[in-house]
């Protein structure tokens, strides 16, 4: 029998709209559309609108590496500012990292997410790091739940590990993307707990960007990301060298960089990797492209947290990937598929994040020259995005 109560009907409609806007719904819809675009499925066969086309200009793995049309990617996937949107629809991210030695990196990562345009930014860190990170900014939501070996006895480890995972799991479904590694450190117990978090995020189909000490973790445990098409690795020159040695059992080959990177992606099951350097080379094992827009020659203090390689940011860049990858996935969900039906939102996120960070570094160096520091670059993230994609359009 039809419900004639107007209040009940409006409540039901409101719940439906909230669910349709939730990260969990978007992730499930993305997976369904991805499956239906496989050979033999009839879905997504209608002709797409030309206005939704995204061209990455990426060549096959065996061909030369071409420059990505990064500005076009940024313009296409950046969501417009809309009064009808509610808090959280522009992105909710989580940074998994921060211990008593390293508190700057998770802060830089989390605040950069807000500067790029995310609505909410969380940090899951150790208790020792939480108060320090909270003192940096009231904008961040800080969860002091991680533990290191020195604070947990051998008999408590299993219980504490389970408690940590349970606490993180309460929040996980709310996130559009997570970043693992900034300021994580290499404590064995802490890394074990983060490994459990990564497995849970994978089961929940949440995109995961791995950077910093997170790359140390996965290099020694490749199963954490192997075959995960929603994973992005962002190694600098040293981290990339360790990955190549571990996975391909050889040294880095500069002359055949694109072929080797593509082989590395394929060997780890088709994940997306961006090798950071003078030019950022990006591959998902199928295509390869690069972004080489000039950034800054400044090697400021804290390069392990923001600048790596030669001219490109590290932690801030990984969060830019996180935001742009989630925006790219949302774009592909809310529009007809582009002509290139195999377009990978993780690749788009890397391209957009790389360009944005390079432009921010360039602006910061133009203003501050030799005195440029990490926070200067972060302050120019908004201007860099505005230059490419004005908020009024």
pLDDT of residue 373 exceeding 90, the answer is no
Question: Could you give the angle at the alpha carbon of 105 between the alpha carbons of 193 and 132, nearest 5°?
Answer: 85
pLDDT of residue 381 exceeding 50, the answer is yes
37 annotated binding-site participant: no
301 annotated binding-site participant: yes
pLDDT of residue 296 exceeding 90, the answer is no
Query: pLDDT value at position 81?
Result: 86
- Residue % of the chain over a pLDDT of 90: 59
305 annotated binding-site participant: yes
87 annotated binding-site participant: no
214 annotated binding-site participant: no
Summarize pLDDT for 262-284 with one digit per residue, the tens.
999 999 999 999 998 889 999 99
pLDDT of residue 59 exceeding 60, the answer is no
Bridge partners (DSSP) of residue 180 are 96, 210
pLDDT of residue 305 exceeding 60, the answer is no
**C-alpha–C-alpha distance, residues 107 and 339, integer Å:** 39
pLDDT of residue 57 exceeding 60, the answer is no
242 annotated binding-site participant: yes
Summarize pLDDT for 173-224 with one digit per residue, the tens.
999 999 999 999 999 999 999 999 999 999 999 999 999 999 999 999 999 9
Enter the pTM of the model.
0.82
The mean pLDDT value of the chain amounts to 82
297 annotated binding-site participant: yes
The answer to whether the CB of 176 falls within 8 A of the CB of 91 is yes
Does 66-77+86-387 carry CATH code 3.40.1190.20?
Answer: yes
Summarize pLDDT for 123-132 with one digit per residue, the tens.
999 999 999 9
The answer to whether the CB of 264 falls within 8 A of the CB of 246 is no
Closest CA to 342 of 70, 44, 16, 14: 44
Band the pLDDT of 325: cuts 50, 70, 90.
confident
pLDDT of residue 297 exceeding 90, the answer is no
**C-alpha–C-alpha distance, residues 291 and 96, integer Å:** 27
pLDDT of residue 60 exceeding 60, the answer is no
344 annotated binding-site participant: no
136 annotated binding-site participant: no
- Residue % of the chain over a pLDDT of 70: 75
241 annotated binding-site participant: yes
Query: pLDDT value at position 277?
Result: 85
**C-alpha–C-alpha distance, residues 377 and 365, integer Å:** 8
pLDDT of residue 239 exceeding 70, the answer is yes
- Around Cβ 28, how many Cβ atoms within 10 Å? 12
């Amino acid at each position: 029998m039809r419900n004639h109560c107007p209040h009940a009907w409006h409540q039901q409609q409101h719940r439906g709209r909230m669910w349709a806007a939730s990260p969990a719904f978007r992730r499930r819809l993305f997976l369904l559309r991805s499956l239906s675009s496989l050979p033999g499925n009839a879905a997504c066969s209608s002709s797409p609108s030309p206005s939704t086309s995204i061209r990455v200009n990426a060549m096959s793995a065996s061909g030369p590496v071409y420059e990505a049309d990064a500005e076009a990617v940024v313009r296409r996937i950046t969501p417009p500012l809309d009064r009808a949107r509610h808090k959280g629809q522009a992105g909710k991210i989580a940074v998994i990292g921060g211990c008593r030695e390293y508190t700057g990196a998770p802060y830089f990562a989390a605040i950069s997410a807000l500067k790029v345009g995310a609505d909410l930014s969380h940090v899951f860190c150790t208790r020792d790091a939480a108060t320090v990170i909270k003192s940096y900014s009231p904008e961040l939501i800080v969860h002091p739940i991680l533990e290191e070996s020195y604070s947990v006895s051998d008999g408590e480890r299993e219980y504490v590990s389970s408690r940590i995972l349970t606490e993180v799991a309460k929040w996980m479904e709310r996130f559009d993307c997570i970043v693992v590694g900034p300021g994580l450190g290499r404590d064995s117990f802490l890394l074990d707990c983060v490994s459990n978090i990564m497995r849970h995020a994978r089961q929940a189909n949440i995109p995961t960007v791995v950077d910093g000490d997170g790359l140390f973790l996965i290099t020694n445990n490749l199963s954490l990301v192997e075959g995960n098409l929603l994973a992005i690795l962002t190694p600098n020159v040293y981290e990339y060298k360790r990955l190549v040695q571990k996975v391909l059992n050889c040294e880095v080959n500069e002359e055949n960089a694109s072929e080797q990177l593509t082989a590395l992606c394929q060997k780890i099951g088709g994940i997306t990797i961006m090798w950071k350097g003078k030019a950022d080379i990006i591959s998902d094992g199928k295509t390869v492209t690069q972004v080489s827009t000039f950034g800054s020659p400044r090697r400021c203090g804290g390069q392990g947290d923001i600048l790596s390689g030669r001219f490109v940011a590290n932690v801030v860049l990984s969060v830019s990937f996180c935001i742009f990858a989630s925006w790219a996935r949302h774009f592909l969900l809310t529009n007809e598929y582009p002509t290139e039906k195999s377009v990978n939102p993780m690749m788009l996120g890397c391209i957009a994040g790389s360009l944005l960070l390079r432009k921010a570094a360039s602006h910061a160096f133009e203003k501050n020259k030799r005195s440029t520091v990490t926070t200067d670059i972060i302050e120019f993230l908004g201007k860099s995005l505005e230059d490419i994609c004005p908020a009024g359009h």
